[in-house]
Amino acid sequence: MARHRLQQQAHLAGLLLLLLLSGCAATPPLSDDANARLPARAYVTGVPFHGQRDYQCGPASLAMVLNAGGIDTGVDELIPQLFLPGREGSVQPEMLATARRHQRIGYTLEGGFEGLLSEIAAGHPVVVLQNLSLPAFPLWHYAVVIGYDRARRQLILHSGEQARMPVSFARFDATWARSGRWAMVALPPGELPAAISPARATESIAAFERLAGAEAALPAWQALVARWPASAMGWFALGNGHHGAGDPAGAAEAFRQATRLQPDLAVAWLNLGLTQAALGHPEVAASLRRAAALPGPWQSRARQALATLAP
């Protein structure tokens, strides 16, 4: 009898823990636009599976997405770059930085659950961070989402020791929400995520450019202005990329487009004038005067450049 009561109590405790972990989990809603735009199901092929060893879900997950994108690396190579013994895991900034060290741009996603499905539909495997326990006692875990089926309301994950693991939308979102719905993709320069804003894309590409150099980042800036042609900062960044790659004519055209879109962008006028000076362009003085007339941190630099011009 006592043993039976203990079994009942253990069973009830298990049910209580399940309820606590699930919370009030519900299937995340999709907007009318997402319902019309997204296919009923999608699956990213060619994503290898690396089983997780002790606390190595970060290196394993990143290896999977890098391998899927054509980068030849393995979990053992990534562990010293990612794993923090004191934290018994990997932190998000290092996941992004390690992607950059392997010539891929790490983008953190926007758009929540719809953004996640959009990336899968676009053919991009997504690294996600989950808390598989209670908020007060977190059990952080990285996994890779590789597919979904809207009719079944399921995601397909490479997770832990299980490849192609089906998980309900509701159960996944409950654990994902505890990380602030953090997710990332690792893409080659020239390819952009489906679910990202111009500002977030600019920030991610700039971080890659600081490490890899202007020439390596140039295709990414070109892709950015192709998607968002009205982004003045995108054209300005493209101009800097062309300049760094040794293409002053391309730089001048990009800077000029930035000034057309945002006439008060002083730094674009300054860089346009400096580039025109290098090209021997007759409009150099006019561009520098525009920069010198705009208040802000670039005004004195523009005035100094004007003073060096021959009378």
pLDDT digits 0-9 by tens, 142-164: 999 999 999 999 999 999 999 99
Instruction: Tokens for 142, please give them.
Output: 């990285």
Q: What pTM value is reported for the model?
A: 0.87
Last residue of a domain, one of 164, 187, 210: 187
| Count of structural domains within the chain | 2
Residues 134 and 172 in one domain: yes
162-168 and 41-43 strand pairing: unpaired
Residue 196, judged by CB atoms within 10 A of its CB (0-12, 13-18, 19+), counts as buried
Residues 98 and 180 in one domain: yes
Residue 125, judged by CB atoms within 10 A of its CB (0-12, 13-18, 19+), counts as buried
Question: Crossing angle for the helix pair 248-261 and 232-244, nearest 10 degrees?
Answer: 170
The answer to whether residue 69 is domain-embedded is yes
Which alpha helices (DSSP H) does 194-247 contain, by range?
A: 198-212, 214-227, 232-244
Average pLDDT rounded to a whole number, residues 44-62:
91
Last residue of a domain, one of 160, 187, 214: 187
How far apart are the C-alpha atoms of 255 and 46, rounded to whole Å? 40
Q: Which pLDDT tens digit goes with each residue over 228-259?
A: 999 999 999 999 999 999 999 999 999 999 99
The rounded Cα 2 to chain-centroid distance in angstroms is 55
Contact between 52 and 60 (Cβ < 8 Å):
yes
Instruction: Tokens for 296, please give them.
Output: 């802000």
Q: Which pLDDT tens digit goes with each residue over 9-22?
A: 333 333 334 444 44
C-alpha distances out from residue 215 to 66, 97, 138, 212, 234, Å: 21, 18, 42, 8, 15
Contact between 156 and 165 (Cβ < 8 Å):
yes
Contact between 96 and 206 (Cβ < 8 Å):
no
Which of 5-19, 62-76, 185-199 has the weakest average pLDDT?
A: 5-19
Residues 64 and 163 in one domain: yes
Domain CATH for 139: 3.90.70.10
- Burial of 254-264, coded b for 16+ CB within 10 Å and e otherwise, reads bbbbbbebbee
Residues 142 and 216 in one domain: no
- Burial of 274-302, coded b for 16+ CB within 10 Å and e otherwise, reads bbbbeeebeebbebbebbbebeeebeebb
Residues 274 and 239 in one domain: yes
Residues 49 and 76 in one domain: yes
Q: Which domain holds residue 115?
A: 36-187
Domain CATH for 302: 1.25.40.10
The answer to whether residue 25 is domain-embedded is no
How far apart are the C-alpha atoms of 79 and 42, rounded to whole Å? 30
Average pLDDT rounded to a whole number, residues 248-273:
97
